[in-house]
Amino acid sequence: MVLAVDIGGTNFSLALVSGDGKMQKRVTRSTDRTGGAGWMIANILKDSRGLAESNDVTACGISFGGPVNFEAQSIINSTHVAGWDDVMLPKIFKYELGIPAVVDNDANMGALGEFVYGAGKGFRNLVYYNIGTGIGGGIIINKEIYRGSDGNAGELGHVPILPNGPLCDCGNRGCLEALCSGTAIGRRAEEAVSSQPKRGKVIRKSRFGDITAKGVFDAARKGDRLALELVDEICVYLGMGVATSMNAFAPDGIVIGGSVCKAGTVLLRPLREQADRFLMPVHRPHLKVLLAKLGGKSGIMGAAALAMGLKT
């Protein structure tokens, strides 16, 4: 049995996963951001101790929602919660609980989770997009996570798409993330309804506060013309990103995860069409764009898979 931990900006989850990939128990808690990393680590350890003591846990895998130095096994920082700079969380686990632990970023963990247990089962090569607040990416080549020479490969959300496009968190303009993340979709919709006051009735109805990506996809499903136009526009950019990955890596499949994948067919159909349009003809017959199968559990199941590979 392994312990899998998923640390995000708003909550964290722990799960016990058996060797056959079955999740036995799961605990999810909201993060008290004011307590910073110290509060989170204390509470994660407390819950982990409880789960590890009453079960035969041999290793722990941690998925972290932020950059991780995999080689050094340390968390680089968190944009959501203060105090995570240079934290060697696996070392703390080993010291406090006496079990070996391993950490990686949530996009790599999502890719691994889908590869081992989800939509990419049986693949050799896979490219994974985690589309939520931002866009994360994970690349699996020959059944292993591809990390690149500096450990930071897989930043598929920062593939440049539109010169002079909207500003991205990374400092550049027109990255895929700045155009198609959940946050960007909401922002584009806000701009569209304010500049076209007579259109987008269904999108407007869906709003409680800001317009969300979910509001846009729900409205598109109901046939709202403005929402459909927005989805088409998003899929042009996402299709460029997907075609770039397909042309570069020719994976067995490209898996779309994260909260935006809940949109389902209303996203997938135009995305496949657009990706196909930008592809080199030689890749066209092999294009497979799939939605993540594990939903919100991709990352935690990837962490479990990584822990299972640890030598105890």
Residue 167 near Zn ion by CB under 5 A: no
Residue 176 near Zn ion by CB under 5 A: no
Among positions 167, 170, 248, 280, the unique one binding Zn ion when judged by CB under 5 A: 170
Among positions 168, 216, 279, 303, the unique one binding Zn ion when judged by CB under 5 A: 168
Minimum Å gap between C-beta 148 and Zn ion is 17
Minimum Å gap between C-beta 181 and Zn ion is 10
Strands 101-105 and 2-7: unpaired
Residue 248 near Zn ion by CB under 5 A: no
* From 53-61, 152-160, 188-196, 233-241, span contacting Zn ion (CB under 5 A): 152-160
Q: How far is CA 125 from the centre of its chain?
A: 18
Nearer to Zn ion, 178 or 305 (CB): 178
The 3 state secondary structure assigned to 99-132 is: CCEEEEEHHHHHHHHHHHHCCCCCCCCEEEEEEC
Is residue 65 within 8 Å of 99, Cβ to Cβ?
A: no
Residue 131 near Zn ion by CB under 5 A: no
Minimum Å gap between C-beta 30 and Zn ion is 28
Q: Output the six-digit token pair for 13.
A: 């989850």
Nearer to Zn ion, 107 or 266 (CB): 107
Minimum Å gap between C-beta 135 and Zn ion is 9
Place of tokens 């590890």: 52
Q: Which alpha helices (H) appear in 10-70, and where do they start and end? A: 36-53
Angstrom distance (rounded) from CA 234 to CA 244: 15
Residue 175 near Zn ion by CB under 5 A: yes
Residue 158 near Zn ion by CB under 5 A: yes
Nearer to Zn ion, 157 or 296 (CB): 157
- Total residues contacting Zn ion by CB under 5 A comes to 5
Radius of gyration of the chain (CA): 20
The helix/strand/coil state of 213 is helix
Comparing CA positions, the residue from 303, 247, 310 lying closest to residue 21 is: 303
* From 138-146, 166-174, 190-198, 224-232, span contacting Zn ion (CB under 5 A): 166-174
Backbone angles phi, psi at 16, to 5 degrees: -100, 130
Residues in the chain: 312
Site for Zn ion in 76-115 (CB under 5 A): none
Comparing CA positions, the residue from 232, 236, 208 lying closest to residue 220 is: 232
Angstrom distance (rounded) from CA 203 to CA 248: 36
Nearer to Zn ion, 60 or 175 (CB): 175
Query: How is residue 35 annotated by DSSP?
Result: G
Nearer to Zn ion, 175 or 219 (CB): 175
Minimum Å gap between C-beta 167 and Zn ion is 9
Residue 297 near Zn ion by CB under 5 A: no
Minimum Å gap between C-beta 134 and Zn ion is 9
Nearer to Zn ion, 109 or 156 (CB): 156
Query: Max CA-CA distance within the chain?
Result: 63
Minimum Å gap between C-beta 156 and Zn ion is 10
Minimum Å gap between C-beta 77 and Zn ion is 16
Residues that bind Zn ion (CB under 5 A): 158, 168, 170, 172, 175
